Amino acid sequence: MAEGESGSTGGSGRNPLVAIVLILNVIVMGAIGFFQFKIHTKISKEPSVQDVVKAQMKEVIAQVEAQQAKGESAIFVDKKKDNGNLLNLDPITANLAQGDGPRRYVRVAAVLKFSPESKKEEYEIRTAQIRDAIISILNAKRPEDLSKVEGKLYLKQEIKAAINAFLVEGTLDDVYYTNFNIN
């Protein structure tokens, strides 16, 4: 090499384009992180299904306590409004979602209460579809999901939502467990 020539072109030897791209990259990544944080905080403020079920449970407990304070019997169903149609399901046995432990199953017998607008012919014809929906829901559950009262109440809400999704006339108003065993 001749005198005055060196391996670099003067200055710091860095390309200013790389620095600009790096700065833009940091700004874009910061913006993405900021928006993800905002979305996450918005989603976390919305009540979950479990929160809604807990609130409904507290409301029912308050109603029962008010009835007991008045000296009335603690009956959950107003007999004047209780004119729905009932469907007694045969016991359903389903495998539970498997964790690391041994295979577990649940056996559930239930009575479904449909609204007065429901036609008996429709839900009797759809009994197989109703049983399939319940089995599918149970197969996704773990034993610890169903061992607590909240889990059983949440299961009732899931069953109601699944069955109401395919009913044409009327709705499923309530699910009553007549037997519930986890093994």
DSSP 82: -
- On whether the CB atoms of residues 110 and 176 are closer than 8 A, the answer is yes
The structure's pTM equals 0.55
Q: Which amino acid is at 125?
A: I
Q: Give yes or no for residue 55 having a pLDDT over 50.
A: yes
User: What's residue 14's pLDDT?
Assistant: 73
- Give the model's confidence band at 12: pLDDT under 50 very low, under 70 low, under 90 confident, else very high: low
* Exposure string over 50-67, b if 16+ CB within 10 A, otherwise e: eeebeeeeeeeeeeeeee
How far is CA 119 from each of CA 86, 115, 162, rounded to the nearest angstrom?
11, 9, 18
- 182 forms beta bridges with 106
The tokens describing 28, both together, are 């874009």
User: What's residue 79's pLDDT?
Assistant: 46
Mean pLDDT of 8-36: 85
How far is CA 92 from each of CA 9, 24, 74, 163, 181, rounded to the nearest angstrom?
80, 59, 30, 16, 10
Per-residue pLDDT tens digits for 58-87:
888 888 788 777 776 555 545 445 556 899
Ordered domains of the chain (ranges, CATH): 85-182 (3.30.479.30)
